[in-house]
Amino acid sequence: MIKMVLDTTRYNATYFGDTVESGGLKDVAGYTGGYLEKGQRYRFNSGDEANPYNPEWKALADVIHGRNPLNNADVLDLGGAVGFLGEYLKEKGASTYDVIDVSNWCFKHKLSVIDTFTENDAITALQSLRDDAYSLIISTQFLECVDDTDLPTLITEMNRVANNVQIHVVTETLNREDTRSLYNLKTLKEWSAFGFNSGTILISHHTGDVLVV
Protein backbone atom coordinates (compact mmCIF):
# COMPACT_ATOMS: atom_id res chain seq x y z
CA MET A 1 0.00 0.00 0.00
CA ILE A 2 1.38 3.37 -1.02
CA LYS A 3 2.28 5.73 1.83
CA MET A 4 0.32 8.95 1.50
CA VAL A 5 1.21 12.10 3.40
CA LEU A 6 -2.37 12.29 4.67
CA ASP A 7 -4.36 9.34 5.93
CA THR A 8 -6.37 8.12 2.94
CA THR A 9 -9.65 8.32 4.87
CA ARG A 10 -9.32 12.11 4.83
CA TYR A 11 -9.97 12.32 1.09
CA ASN A 12 -13.71 12.71 1.56
CA ALA A 13 -16.46 15.33 1.56
CA THR A 14 -14.72 17.54 4.10
CA TYR A 15 -11.48 17.47 2.10
CA PHE A 16 -13.03 18.42 -1.23
CA GLY A 17 -15.57 20.80 0.27
CA ASP A 18 -18.63 19.18 -1.26
CA THR A 19 -21.64 21.41 -0.62
CA VAL A 20 -24.17 18.64 -0.12
CA GLU A 21 -22.32 16.55 2.41
CA SER A 22 -20.17 19.02 4.31
CA GLY A 23 -21.55 22.49 3.63
CA GLY A 24 -18.11 23.56 2.43
CA LEU A 25 -14.53 22.77 3.35
CA LYS A 26 -13.94 21.73 6.94
CA ASP A 27 -10.70 19.76 6.67
CA VAL A 28 -7.81 22.23 6.60
CA ALA A 29 -5.85 19.81 4.41
CA GLY A 30 -8.28 20.25 1.52
CA TYR A 31 -7.09 22.38 -1.38
CA THR A 32 -10.38 24.23 -1.92
CA GLY A 33 -9.73 26.55 1.00
CA GLY A 34 -9.01 29.55 -1.19
CA TYR A 35 -12.42 29.34 -2.79
CA LEU A 36 -14.20 28.92 0.51
CA GLU A 37 -12.51 32.04 1.84
CA LYS A 38 -14.01 33.96 -1.10
CA GLY A 39 -17.48 32.84 -0.04
CA GLN A 40 -17.87 30.34 -2.88
CA ARG A 41 -18.81 26.73 -2.38
CA TYR A 42 -17.80 23.86 -4.52
CA ARG A 43 -20.18 21.68 -6.56
CA PHE A 44 -19.26 18.55 -8.49
CA ASN A 45 -21.64 19.12 -11.40
CA SER A 46 -19.09 19.89 -14.10
CA GLY A 47 -21.75 21.63 -16.18
CA ASP A 48 -22.57 24.11 -13.42
CA GLU A 49 -20.97 27.41 -14.39
CA ALA A 50 -21.39 28.64 -10.82
CA ASN A 51 -18.79 26.03 -9.88
CA PRO A 52 -15.62 28.08 -9.21
CA TYR A 53 -13.43 25.20 -10.35
CA ASN A 54 -14.73 25.02 -13.91
CA PRO A 55 -12.48 27.79 -15.32
CA GLU A 56 -9.41 26.30 -13.66
CA TRP A 57 -9.94 22.75 -14.95
CA LYS A 58 -10.81 24.01 -18.42
CA ALA A 59 -7.65 26.13 -18.53
CA LEU A 60 -5.57 23.18 -17.37
CA ALA A 61 -7.03 20.99 -20.12
CA ASP A 62 -6.00 23.69 -22.61
CA VAL A 63 -2.45 23.60 -21.24
CA ILE A 64 -2.27 19.79 -21.42
CA HIS A 65 -3.63 19.76 -24.97
CA GLY A 66 -1.20 22.51 -25.97
CA ARG A 67 1.74 20.52 -24.63
CA ASN A 68 0.60 17.19 -26.04
CA PRO A 69 -2.31 17.18 -28.54
CA LEU A 70 -5.00 14.83 -27.28
CA ASN A 71 -6.16 13.42 -30.61
CA ASN A 72 -7.52 9.96 -29.67
CA ALA A 73 -5.28 9.83 -26.61
CA ASP A 74 -5.81 7.23 -23.89
CA VAL A 75 -5.46 9.29 -20.71
CA LEU A 76 -4.85 8.02 -17.17
CA ASP A 77 -5.40 10.56 -14.38
CA LEU A 78 -3.61 9.59 -11.15
CA GLY A 79 -5.28 10.90 -8.02
CA GLY A 80 -7.98 12.24 -10.34
CA ALA A 81 -10.62 12.46 -7.58
CA VAL A 82 -14.12 12.52 -9.11
CA GLY A 83 -12.77 13.20 -12.60
CA PHE A 84 -12.64 16.98 -12.70
CA LEU A 85 -10.61 17.10 -15.92
CA GLY A 86 -12.41 14.45 -17.92
CA GLU A 87 -15.06 16.54 -19.65
CA TYR A 88 -12.55 19.11 -20.84
CA LEU A 89 -9.93 16.57 -21.97
CA LYS A 90 -12.52 14.73 -24.04
CA GLU A 91 -13.61 18.01 -25.59
CA LYS A 92 -9.98 18.39 -26.69
CA GLY A 93 -9.97 14.95 -28.32
CA ALA A 94 -9.06 12.36 -25.70
CA SER A 95 -10.73 9.03 -26.52
CA THR A 96 -10.39 7.45 -23.08
CA TYR A 97 -10.29 9.04 -19.64
CA ASP A 98 -9.52 6.68 -16.76
CA VAL A 99 -8.95 7.59 -13.11
CA ILE A 100 -7.02 5.94 -10.30
CA ASP A 101 -7.80 7.27 -6.84
CA VAL A 102 -7.63 5.76 -3.38
CA SER A 103 -10.73 7.60 -2.16
CA ASN A 104 -13.92 5.60 -1.78
CA TRP A 105 -15.81 8.87 -1.46
CA CYS A 106 -14.52 9.96 -4.88
CA PHE A 107 -15.49 6.59 -6.33
CA LYS A 108 -19.04 7.05 -5.05
CA HIS A 109 -19.21 10.58 -6.50
CA LYS A 110 -17.32 9.97 -9.76
CA LEU A 111 -18.46 11.88 -12.83
CA SER A 112 -20.01 9.96 -15.71
CA VAL A 113 -17.29 11.14 -18.11
CA ILE A 114 -14.86 8.65 -16.51
CA ASP A 115 -14.49 5.45 -18.53
CA THR A 116 -12.86 3.39 -15.77
CA PHE A 117 -12.40 4.38 -12.13
CA THR A 118 -9.95 2.19 -10.20
CA GLU A 119 -10.34 2.60 -6.46
CA ASN A 120 -6.87 1.70 -5.24
CA ASP A 121 -3.54 3.24 -4.36
CA ALA A 122 -1.56 4.33 -7.40
CA ILE A 123 1.34 1.88 -7.10
CA THR A 124 -0.86 -1.19 -6.71
CA ALA A 125 -3.14 -0.10 -9.55
CA LEU A 126 -0.25 0.72 -11.88
CA GLN A 127 1.44 -2.61 -11.18
CA SER A 128 -1.63 -4.39 -12.56
CA LEU A 129 -1.32 -2.59 -15.91
CA ARG A 130 0.72 -3.69 -18.93
CA ASP A 131 3.72 -1.80 -20.24
CA ASP A 132 2.87 1.25 -22.38
CA ALA A 133 -0.82 0.97 -21.50
CA TYR A 134 -1.58 4.69 -21.82
CA SER A 135 -0.46 7.30 -24.30
CA LEU A 136 -0.67 10.00 -21.60
CA ILE A 137 -0.46 9.87 -17.81
CA ILE A 138 -1.42 13.04 -15.95
CA SER A 139 -1.76 14.14 -12.35
CA THR A 140 -2.82 17.36 -10.68
CA GLN A 141 -1.62 18.14 -7.16
CA PHE A 142 -1.14 14.43 -6.56
CA LEU A 143 2.60 13.82 -6.31
CA GLU A 144 2.94 16.10 -3.30
CA CYS A 145 0.46 13.81 -1.47
CA VAL A 146 2.91 10.87 -1.66
CA ASP A 147 5.61 10.20 0.90
CA ASP A 148 9.23 10.28 -0.32
CA THR A 149 9.72 6.61 0.53
CA ASP A 150 7.24 5.55 -2.16
CA LEU A 151 8.02 8.11 -4.84
CA PRO A 152 10.78 6.09 -6.60
CA THR A 153 8.51 3.03 -6.99
CA LEU A 154 5.58 5.19 -8.08
CA ILE A 155 7.62 7.00 -10.71
CA THR A 156 9.13 3.75 -11.99
CA GLU A 157 5.62 2.38 -12.51
CA MET A 158 4.42 5.57 -14.21
CA ASN A 159 7.42 5.45 -16.54
CA ARG A 160 6.59 1.86 -17.43
CA VAL A 161 2.88 2.37 -18.08
CA ALA A 162 3.18 5.62 -20.06
CA ASN A 163 4.05 4.91 -23.71
CA ASN A 164 4.41 8.55 -24.69
CA VAL A 165 4.12 11.50 -22.31
CA GLN A 166 3.54 12.32 -18.66
CA ILE A 167 2.27 15.71 -17.49
CA HIS A 168 2.23 16.45 -13.76
CA VAL A 169 0.97 19.63 -12.13
CA VAL A 170 2.57 20.12 -8.72
CA THR A 171 2.25 22.65 -5.92
CA GLU A 172 5.59 24.23 -5.14
CA THR A 173 4.37 26.40 -2.28
CA LEU A 174 1.22 27.14 -0.31
CA ASN A 175 0.38 30.47 1.27
CA ARG A 176 -1.35 29.02 4.30
CA GLU A 177 1.15 27.85 6.91
CA ASP A 178 -1.32 25.37 8.43
CA THR A 179 -1.73 23.66 5.05
CA ARG A 180 1.87 23.86 3.82
CA SER A 181 3.13 21.46 6.48
CA LEU A 182 0.66 18.77 5.39
CA TYR A 183 2.15 18.15 1.93
CA ASN A 184 5.40 16.94 0.40
CA LEU A 185 6.18 20.16 -1.44
CA LYS A 186 9.12 20.36 -3.88
CA THR A 187 10.29 22.73 -6.58
CA LEU A 188 10.08 21.72 -10.22
CA LYS A 189 13.85 21.19 -10.22
CA GLU A 190 13.62 18.91 -7.19
CA TRP A 191 10.84 16.87 -8.82
CA SER A 192 12.82 16.55 -12.03
CA ALA A 193 15.60 14.70 -10.17
CA PHE A 194 13.31 11.79 -9.22
CA GLY A 195 13.89 9.76 -12.39
CA PHE A 196 10.96 10.56 -14.64
CA ASN A 197 11.13 9.47 -18.28
CA SER A 198 12.79 11.97 -20.58
CA GLY A 199 10.15 14.31 -21.94
CA THR A 200 7.99 14.32 -18.81
CA ILE A 201 6.41 17.75 -18.35
CA LEU A 202 6.23 19.28 -14.87
CA ILE A 203 4.03 22.34 -14.35
CA SER A 204 3.93 24.55 -11.26
CA HIS A 205 0.37 25.09 -10.08
CA HIS A 206 1.62 28.14 -8.19
CA THR A 207 3.39 30.02 -10.99
CA GLY A 208 2.52 28.21 -14.23
CA ASP A 209 6.22 27.61 -14.91
CA VAL A 210 7.03 24.54 -16.99
CA LEU A 211 10.02 22.20 -16.80
CA VAL A 212 10.54 19.42 -19.34
CA VAL A 213 12.65 16.60 -17.94
Domain boundaries, the chain: 55-212
CATH of domain 55-212: 3.40.50.150
Determine the pLDDT at residue 20.
Answer: 46
The strand ranges marked E within the chain are 74-78, 96-101, 116-119, 134-140, 162-170, 201-204, 210-212
Q: Given its phi and psi angles, is residue 122 left (phi above 0), alpha (psi -120 to 50 degrees) or beta?
A: alpha
Determine the pLDDT at residue 198.
Answer: 94
- The distance of Cα 39 from the centroid of its chain, to the nearest Å, equals 24
The answer to whether the CB of 161 falls within 8 A of the CB of 126 is yes
Q: What parts of the chain have a pLDDT lower than 70?
A: 1, 16-55, 174-180
Determine the pLDDT at residue 35.
Answer: 37
Hey, is 66 helix, strand or coil? Answer: helix
| Rounded Cα distance, 97 and 91, in Å | 11
Determine the pLDDT at residue 49.
Answer: 40
Q: Is the pTM of this model over 0.75?
A: yes
